[in-house]
Amino acid sequence: MASRSSSAEGAGRTLPVNLKLITVLSIDGGGIRGIIPATILAFLEAKLQELDGPDARIADYFDVVAGTSTGGLLTAMLTAPDTNERPLFAAKDLARFYIQHSPKIFRQKNAMGSKLVGKLRMACGPKYDGKYLHAQLRRLLGNMRLDRTLTNVVIPTFDIAYMQPMIFSSFELKHRPSTNALLSDICMSTSAAPTYFPPHYFQTRDENGRRKAFNLVDGGIAANNPTLCAMGQVSKDIILADDDFFPVMPADYGKFMVISLGCGSNRNRRYCAKAAARWGVFSWLFKDGSAPIIDMFNSASADMVDIHLCVLFRALRSSENYLRIQYDQLTGSAGSIDDSSKKNMDRLVRIGNKLLDMNVSRVDLETGRNVEVPGAGTNAERLAKFARQLSDERRRRRQNELIMNSEQVFQIQHQAWYYGGDA
């Protein structure tokens, strides 16, 4: 793992012999719909607290936390340290943060022609200036950089100057020190959804004072579901001989335990080729309160990753190690990425809670809909099972570390005795 300091309680530094599973948490992009995975995370952390006490936090249990766009914000909130080197936010406070600040991030107009005005504004420039979001991120994250997170993080963005993905990863820091950017800049970049927020520009300097410029937009363009990005970063780190993951082979995905959380989608919103054949640029960007082209890109990106991982884990006979939680029946305003009305946000919280009671499901390739996995139980039941596994893995690692520390102390004492003085 990344060679940096981490919380004493965190999962971010593990001795090689102690590692049995590589634990990954991944959170999709989806704007205001980040309330849905926030609600799921609150449930998971509560289960971990039932097992290990009220101070347990998500970052204590995952070797990697990955997030795109709104998922990147959640990732930072879960892994950035406070003054006591503990996570800034408990998971139960995530949805509350969205509910408190989203009306100012996505400031809505109440005028009769607000929708038309919004469309015209988006045709001429971004719908929102992002100033309030940027101010909050600066306030929360201050001068904290990527190397300060309490466990490894992976946050995708897209660099429009180079027309390629730019992934901010704890694993890359020792090879690419110029990517050690402010967490606030990374969060602003991964959430800069085209047509909604302006692209974000910033510079970093490496240890030799050389500057590197970044011209970034929403990570959803590269990977709206960042799960494969996270797993790929781990594999790359193994290939480059990081000792922390040495016992695991680069493609040994059977050793991964993955929880992937979506922000919801709307499978009922479908389009006819004959009708779409008459669409111009405006219709592809603005149609019935949504942006069809952006919705299609994000949905396709997220589903392709899910489909690939379902096949991969099944082929490795380790399907129990992969859990994807996604709601595919969003309708009306719930499918919007920026409807910050209290009514809609309350609805998203209810959807998150409803999703916990729904059965574990997978994407059906023919229909595109989620279908229940026979005998898998509910999402809440599977999360509770994962919580037990996460707790057991953390406890096992800590016990092994105590044994190794005791052996090291014994060796030092033995050397001191043998040589008749201090070793």
DSSP-derived secondary structure letter, 290: B
**Residue 105 CB-density burial (10 A; 0-12 exposed, 13-18 middle, 19+ buried):** buried
Active-site position among 52, 60, 185, 218: 218
Rounded to whole angstroms, the Cα distance separating 354 from 196 reads 29
From the DSSP assignment, how many helices (H) and strands (E) are in the chain?
13, 10
In one letter, which amino acid is 342? K
3-state secondary structure of 244: helix
Rounded to whole angstroms, the Cα distance separating 408 from 16 reads 16
For strand 164-169 and strand 200-205, is the pairing parallel, antiparallel, or unpaired? unpaired
339 catalytic? Reply is no
Please state at what angle helix 379-418 crosses helix 35-52, rounded to 10 degrees. 50
CA 177 to chain centre: 22
- Whether the CA torsion 139, 143, 149, 153 is positive or negative: it is positive
Tokens coding 167: 């992934």
Please state at what angle helix 94-105 crosses helix 70-79, rounded to 10 degrees. 130
Cα 335-127-280 angle, rounded to 5 deg: 75
Active-site position among 69, 184, 265, 301: 69
- φ and ψ at 238, to 5 degrees? -65, -45
Measured distance between the N- and C-terminal CA atoms of the chain, rounded to whole angstroms: 30
Q: Do the beta carbons of residue 1 and residue 245 sit within 8 Å?
A: yes
Rounded to whole angstroms, the Cα distance separating 121 from 48 reads 45
Tokens coding 414: 């033995």
Rounded to whole angstroms, the Cα distance separating 339 from 114 reads 13
Cα 88-93-99 angle, rounded to 5 deg: 120
Rounded to whole angstroms, the Cα distance separating 21 from 254 reads 9
Rounded to whole angstroms, the Cα distance separating 130 from 105 reads 7
Rounded to whole angstroms, the Cα distance separating 290 from 332 reads 10
218 catalytic? Reply is yes
Catalytic residues: 69, 218
